[in-house]
């Protein structure tokens, strides 16, 4: 009886390619289940199919590796090289701004408050319209138009709509100014055109 220490087996042909064993003659204890012995058979056809699948998978892996090697690897190397080219500039930029401390840097980077600018713009509109209603009432009174009339109410309604439009527009302009000014300051501190 052969007791193998090494066996290299070709799944396709079913032949042993390399084997290392000892010849043994003596008693053998079989570890069978309580219900009696069972024999194991080798399904040659199944083994051939599995070998074909394994070889196909290996072929796909090699094909994908070649694809990576020819297409992706050069691209990745270009990305690495591009990043390396950027490093000196980024390092210089970091060193440049390392010395910027104190109030100038804080003011330049915090930007302008959009809410504050919107408030200023709306205040201007409120002031412009604040005396308008009184002036309109006096002017219409001089022309003989009654403040309780429908015409007066219509004119007052139009004035209120114009005021609302003015406030909305002023708010938008104030916010836009704050954003643009903040961006201009940031661009200035980073060395761009202001």
For 21-49, the pLDDT digits (tens) are: 888 888 877 766 555 555 667 889 999 99
Answer whether residue 81 is part of any domain.
no
Q: What is the pLDDT of residues 145-173, one digit of tens each?
A: 777 788 778 888 888 888 888 888 888 88
How far is it, in rounded angstroms, from Cα 13 to Cα 16? 9
Q: Is residue 94 part of a domain?
A: no
Kindly report the CA angle at 187 between 117 and 96, in degrees rounded to 5?
A: 130
| 152 is a domain residue | yes
Residues of the chain with pLDDT under 70: 31-40, 96-111, 189-194
In a domain, 14, yes or no: no
Task: Assess if residue 111 is contained within a domain.
Answer: yes
pLDDT of residue 113: 78
Residues above pLDDT 70, as percent of the chain:
83
> Within a 10 A sphere around the Cβ of 136, how many other Cβ atoms?
16
For residue 39, is it within any domain? no
- Per the CB < 8 A criterion, the answer to whether 46 and 55 are in contact is no
């Amino acid at each position: 009886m052969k007791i193998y220490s090494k066996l290299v087996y070709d799944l396709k042909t079913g032949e042993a390619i390399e084997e290392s064993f000892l010849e043994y003659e003596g008693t053998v204890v079989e570890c069978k289940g309580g219900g009696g012995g069972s024999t194991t058979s080798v399904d040659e056809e199944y083994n051939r199919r599995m070998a074909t699948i394994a070889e196909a998978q290996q072929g796909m892996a090699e094909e994908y590796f070649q694809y990576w090697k020819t297409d992706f690897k050069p691209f990745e190397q270009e990305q690495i090289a591009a990043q390396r080219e950027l490093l000196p500039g980024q390092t210089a930029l970091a060193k440049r701004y390392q010395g910027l401390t104190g109030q100038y840097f804080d003011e330049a980077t915090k930007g302008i408050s959009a809410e504050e600018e919107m408030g200023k713009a709306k205040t201007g509109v409120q002031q412009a319209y604040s005396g308008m209603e009184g002036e309109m009432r006096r002017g219409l009174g001089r022309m003989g138009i009654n403040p309780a009339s429908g015409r007066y109410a219509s004119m007052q309604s139009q004035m209120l709509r114009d005021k609302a439009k003015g406030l909305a527009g002023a708010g938008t302009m104030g916010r836009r100014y704050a954003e643009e000014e903040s961006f201009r300051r940031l661009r200035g501190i980073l060395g761009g055109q202001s």
